[in-house]
Amino acid sequence: MKLLRHGPKGQEKPAMLDAQGQVRDLSAIIGDLRADMLTPEGLAALRAIDPAKLPLVAQPGRMAPPWSGMGKFICVGLNYADHAAESNLPVPAEPILFTKHTSTVIGCNDPVVLPQGSVKSDWEVELGVVIGRKARYVSEAEALGHVAGYCVVNDVSEREYQIERGGTWDKGKGCDTFGPVGPWLVTADEVADPQQLGMWLEVNGRRFQNGNTRTMIFGVAQLVSYISRFMTLYPGDLISTGTPPGVGMGHKPEPVFLKQGDKMKLGIDGLGEQNQTVHAWDPALIDG
């Protein structure tokens, strides 16, 4: 299944795609697509619905984050060896973990708003892993059984805040609007192998990132197992699994960073595409 939510902020409605890729309204059956519905039982109930019998949404409008109630947004740093190299950092012996605040989460095409004074904001296309079953000290062999599905994530990052301002990476990763998610949550049964997904990102029509999840240092099963040793994962938690090379910080001969008016387009095989326009600081775009 491809599950989604659409509509203005605060008025989002749940939906699913039918076999023709058309949006079908679920709001008469469920009020919202909540994190607690992403369990195996919850997804089985949704899978039993015939999309052809649901009302067609002719003009869905804004694409919202695909589910509500995300508890944790956990990210993995330097998970592609060639991205570590372009960052002039060693390949990690263990996964590097950090968090993005859930206040970063926006819809896949919502405005990305630069923080005040930002001059080093950057892009990162990433595979998102959505948890569907509580995971605590799970083995790698069991790990994928705890995954509800997958999605596209843009891990937008302010590199000055991340690297030059001291402390952890979180302050450069947690700015408002720095976590576009979606367009869909694609359930795990539709992704034959999460380690064989092409991924790409363009800025203003120029291709900067062109990678594949097969080159991850730590694969999805390894990450779910590893992270579950340090925290309990619950349905609706999101793991963003790292980015391939081609970020602006690593561009040669000079870095390239986002500026007002830039347009980002990114996608992952079978998981859909995102489109964002970059805006200067404007709290109305964040709160509206």
Q: pLDDT digits over 88-115, tens only?
A: 778 889 999 999 999 999 999 999 999 9
C-alpha span between 111 and 38 (Å, rounded): 27
pLDDT band at 167 (very low <50, low <70, confident <90, very high): confident
C-alpha span between 128 and 224 (Å, rounded): 12
Which residues pair with residue 131 across a beta bridge? 147
HEC-encoded secondary structure of the chain = CEEEEECCCCCCEEEEECCCCCEEECCCCCCCCEHHHCCHHHHHHHHCCCHHHCCECCCCCCEECCCECCCCEEEEECCEHHHHHHCCCCCCCCCEEEECCHHHEECCCCCEECCCCCCCEECCEEEEEEECCCECCCCHHHHHHHEEEEEEEECCEEHHHHHHCCCCCHHHHCCCCCEEECCCEEEHHHCCCCCCCEEEEEECCEEEEEEEHHHECCCHHHHHHHHCCCCCECCCCEEECCCCCCCHHHCCCCCCCCCCCCEEEEEECCCEEEEEEEECCCHHHHHC
By C-alpha distance, which of 48, 49, 66 is closest to 272?
66
C-alpha span between 7 and 244 (Å, rounded): 32
| Mean pLDDT, all residues of the chain | 96
Residues of the chain above pLDDT 90, percent = 91
Structural contact between residues 229 and 74, judged by C-beta atoms closer than 8 angstroms? no
pLDDT for res 65: 98
Structural contact between residues 223 and 213, judged by C-beta atoms closer than 8 angstroms? no
pLDDT band at 213 (very low <50, low <70, confident <90, very high): very high
Query: pLDDT digits over 9-41, tens only?
Result: 999 999 999 999 999 999 999 999 999 999 999
Q: Which residue's entry shows tokens 């749940």?
A: 14
Structural contact between residues 128 and 148, judged by C-beta atoms closer than 8 angstroms? no
Does position 155 have pLDDT exceeding 80, yes or no? yes
